[in-house]
Every structure is written in structure tokens, then in C-alpha cells.
Structure 1
Amino acid sequence: MNFKDKTVLITGAGSGIGKIMARKSLERGCANLVLWDINEISLATAQQEFATVGGRIFTFKVDVSNLDEVKMQAQRVRTEVEAVDILINNAGIVVGKYFHEHTHDEIHKSMAINSEALMHITLEFLPGMIAQNSGAICNIASSAGLIANPKMSVYAGSKWAVVGWGDSLRLEMQQLKKNISVSTIMPFFINTGMFDGVKSKILPILEPEKTSEKIMTAIENESKLLAMPMPYWFIRLSQGILPVSAFDWVMQHVFGIYDTMKDFRGRK
């Protein structure tokens, strides 16, 4: 999917890789850039920063965990802008604690933002893509959608849901012979502040600029599944070949994955 002259909608676009992908969409020549974020100040700052890059920029304050708000703002996009060609479901949150330490509200909020919102937002714009038989949907999941991790149980559960739903949607579009690509992205920790305090033994913490570029390229190439830095097939192959205890040992003692969240602080 080429970004030139397209209408692109990005959630969580006020900061982190969402903001970087917004800039890169304009640099690639998109005609209309629609930014969704819960933070109005971040939206205003992004709009001001990108004003001279090119293309029209539309900002919408949206709490993606609120279904009524999602439906209302999606209708505004269809009315005030036009049909969305490229949808990047990027908004997400993380609560880094053991499961028994969670509150019911934290569980509900994590699932609503990290899983349900992607489905509801896609449901708002997918019919338009189907009608024009063209479109691209990119879902930002996580490597936590492939590998379980202590102090990430709810986050991992929400991202596993995204991986399963997103790839099923991809197969549905293929089965229906629709020219709509669905890309599921599963990155390791990204250095945006969201995972402050995380420590990695071997795997590098990903840099936002390079990671964003890889995601943009994945959309352009209509990549189906992209994990970073370890390829998804390596993870799944390892899980399939190794007994659970052996896989756990490798993740714990070789890669140090199971200790990454010990000093997690997150974004203040």
C-alpha cells in the first residue's frame, strides 16, 4: 500500500512511535492525516510541528476505551475528512505488576485499550475499505503477544488477543478476495518512555525512529507478520520444538526475558 495521496488514521498519535509514524506518513505524501489521541495538548503540538511537512492534518481527541466516543469520532472522520485508506491501530497502555496486584479497573482498561479498541475502530472503517476494495490495516501488538512474561500478564493477554484477531482478519480478507492488507506488528520493548525501567540482557531495546520506519515499510510491503528483533517464526518454532520447561529456561537464563520487568517504572 502506497501512502501517497492516501488518507491515514493513526491512534495514539500524540507521542511515541505513533507521532513518528504520523510524520513519516506526511513525508511519504499522504493527502489527509488523521490523528487520534486522548491528550489534546500532544495533538496540538504534533499538528503544529507537522504543519509544514505537507498534507492536511486533522486531530481528534478520542478515548479509544470509550465505544460511544469511538463511534462518534469515526463518523466525524467519515463526514469531515473522507474514507480511511490506511488505519494504524497504535494506541496502548501497560500496567507492569503481578496479576494479583491488579485492580479490576486496570484489567478492564488494559483490555479495552489494547484489544477491544482495535477491533471497534477497525469495524468502523473496514466497511469503507471493503466498498472500495482497497485498504491497509496495521495493528501494533507486541512480542508479549508471542512470549509470556511475569508482571505483564494482562498486557500479554491483551496483545495475544490482537495477534489472534489481526491474523484471523487477514485470512478473512484473503478468503473474501478483498484487496485489503492486514499487518500485525510484534516489537520488543521500544524506548519511548512507556517501558521505562525495563532491562534487557541480550536483546536490544528498540529505537523509536528505526522501529517506526520498519513498520511503515511493512505496511507498504503488505507484510503479514513482523516481529522485532527476533523473527516471529523463530519464536514459534522454538515454542513448538522445545518442551515448556526447556523454553522457559532459555527465556530466563539465556535471553533474560522473564526478568525484564523487575525494575519497571513506566511513563509517569
Structure 2
Amino acid sequence: MDFKDKTVLITGGAFGIGKIMGRKVLERGAAHLVIWDLNPEGLQQTESAFSSLGGEVTGIVMDLSDVKQIQWAAAQTRSVAGVPHVIINNAGIVVGKMFHEHSHDDISKSMKINADAPMHVTLEFLPEMLRRNSGAVCTIASSAGLISNPKMSVYAASKWAATGWSDSLRLEMQQLKKDIAVTTVMPFYISTGMFDGVKSRVLPVLEPEKASERIICAIEKKTKLLAMPMPYWFIRLSQGLLPLPVFDWVMRDVFGIYDTMKEFRGRKGDGL
């Protein structure tokens, strides 16, 4: 997938890696970058910051937890930029509590934004992409879509859902023999502010610039599954071969995964 002269849609693109990925696709020659985000000030600042990078930039203020707003934003996108060649489902939220501390609203909003929205967003444009027989869909899931973790039960549920949907979509495109690449990304924590307070004893917290570059390169190479820093096959192989108590011991006592969220604070309003 070559970004030159393409239209790219990024959800949650006013902050974090969404913003960095937007800059990178413009630097690669994208003709039109469309950003969906809830924060109007962030969108305005991003549009201004990207004005000298070439290509058009359109920010659309909308709420991904509302299907009607997704449909409205899709119509707006078609009117100003046409059907995107690349969709990057990046927006996400995390609550970071023990499950019994969640409210029903916490659960509903997390699932709507992290799990449901990528499907609704993609569905708005996929029929037209199929008729065109070209395009790419990238969904930023999480390592939490592979490994369970305390204080991330609802977040993990949403990311397991996103991972399963995205990779199933990849298989469907293959069966239909359509030239639509589907990339599922499963990163460890990224230091964007969304996971402020997270402590990782062994695995490095990912640097946003490098993580964003790897994701953009994965889209260009039509990579099917990208996990960072541990490859997904290592996690799946370990889960398949090790008895559960041993796998828990490795994750808890060797890698320290199960303690990473103990001092989580987070910062509301960020995309992943």
C-alpha cells in the first residue's frame, strides 16, 4: 500500500499516535487526511500543525460511541474527500479499574468505542471499497487483546473483540479475493498519556514515534498481524504449550505483566 495521493481516515487522530500517524501519512504524500475526534480544540491545533505538510487535512468533531454520529461523519467524509483508501481505527479509551469498580456506563462506553466503533466505521466504507477492489483497514487493538490482565478486564474484553473481528475481516477479504489489506496491531503500552502511571518491569513501554512508524510500515507492507514488542506468535505459542498456572507465573513473575496497572492513573480524552 502506497500512501501517495491516497485519502486516509484516522479516528482519534488529534492526539497520541493517531496524530503522529497522520503526520507520517502526509509526509508520505497522502492527498487528503481526514481526522475524526471528540476534541474540537485538539482537531483545530492538529489541522494547523499539519498545514505545511502538503495534502488537505479535514477534522471532523464527532463521538464514536454514537452510531448515528459515525454515519453522519462518514457522510461528511464522502462529501469532502470521497471514500478513504485507508482506514486506521485508532481511537480507544481505558477505565483501568477492578471489574467490580466499573459502572455500567464504563462498560458500555468502553465496548462502544474500542470494539463496536471500528466495525461501524469500517462498515460505512467497506462496500464502496469492495466495489473499487482496493484499500486497507488497520485496527489498533492491544496486547490486552492477547493477554488477560488485572484492572483491564473490560478493556481486554473490548480489545479481544477488536482483534477477533479485524482478523476475521482479513480472512473474509482473502476468501472474496479482494485487494483490501487488513492489518491488526496489538501493541504493549505506548507512552502517550493514556496509560500514565503504568509500570513495566521487563518489557519496554513503547515510544510513540517509533510505534507509529512501525504501524505505518505495517500498513505499507500489508502486514496481517503486528504485536509489539513481543511477537504475537510467541504469546500464542506460550499460551498453547504452557499449563495455565505456569503461563500465569511467566506473565506475573517473569515479565511482571499482571502488576503493570497497579499504579495506573491514565488521562481522559486520549486515543491510544
Give the TM-score taking structure 1 as reference length. Answer: 0.99
Name the counterpart of 2:68: 68
Q: Please state whether the residue corresponding to 2:60 is helix, strand or coil.
A: strand
1:238 correspondence with 2:238: yes
Residue by residue over 1:92-137, the C-alpha shift from the partner in whole angstroms, topping out at 9 and shown as x without a partner, is 0000000010000000000000000000000001111101000000
Name the counterpart of 1:180: 180
> Where does 1:42-57 land on structure 2 (aligned, <5 Å)?
42-57=42-57
Write the distance in 2 (CA, Å) between the matches of 1:62 and 1:85.
21
1:80 Cα offset (Å): 2.0
Higher normalized contact order (CA 8 Å, seq sep 6+, divided by chain length): 2
Write the distance in 2 (CA, Å) between the matches of 1:221 and 1:80.
28
> Where does 1:1-268 land on structure 2 (aligned, <5 Å)?
1-268=1-268
- For the Cα contact (< 8 Å) 1:43–1:59, is it kept in 2? yes
1:85 Cα offset (Å): 0.2
Write the distance in 1 (CA, Å) between the matches of 2:263 and 2:82.
45
Q: Please state whether the residue corresponding to 1:77 is helix, strand or coil.
A: helix
Q: Please state whether the residue corresponding to 1:183 is helix, strand or coil.
A: strand
1:62 Cα offset (Å): 1.1
Write the distance in 2 (CA, Å) between the matches of 1:184 and 1:158.
14
Write the distance in 2 (CA, Å) between the matches of 1:81 and 1:8.
9
- For the Cα contact (< 8 Å) 1:138–1:185, is it kept in 2? yes
- For the Cα contact (< 8 Å) 1:84–1:128, is it kept in 2? no
When the two structures are aligned, how many residues end up with a matched partner? 268
Query: Residue type of the partner of 1:213?
Result: E
Q: Please state whether the residue corresponding to 1:43 is helix, strand or coil.
A: helix
Residue by residue over 1:157-179, the C-alpha shift from the partner in whole angstroms, topping out at 9 and shown as x without a partner, is 00000110000000000000000
Write the distance in 2 (CA, Å) between the matches of 1:180 and 1:96.
34
Write the distance in 1 (CA, Å) between the matches of 2:163 and 2:7.
25
Write the distance in 2 (CA, Å) between the matches of 1:41 and 1:221.
34
Query: Residue type of the partner of 1:245?
Result: P
Query: Residue type of the partner of 2:14?
Result: G
Query: Residue type of the partner of 2:197?
Result: G
1:83 Cα offset (Å): 1.3
Q: Please state whether the residue corresponding to 2:124 is helix, strand or coil.
A: helix
Point out where structure 1 has 5 or more consecutive residues left out of the alignment.
Answer: none
Write the distance in 1 (CA, Å) between the matches of 2:192 and 2:90.
13
Write the distance in 1 (CA, Å) between the matches of 2:170 and 2:257.
29
Give the TM-score taking structure 2 as reference length. Answer: 0.98
Point out where structure 2 has 5 or more consecutive residues left out of the alignment.
Answer: none
1:76 Cα offset (Å): 1.2
Write the distance in 1 (CA, Å) between the matches of 2:208 and 2:80.
31
Residue by residue over 1:13-72, the C-alpha shift from the partner in whole angstroms, topping out at 9 and shown as x without a partner, is 000000000000100000010011000000000000000000011110010101000001
Taking only aligned residues, the RMSD between alpha carbons, in angstroms, comes to 0.5
Query: Residue type of the partner of 2:247?
Result: F
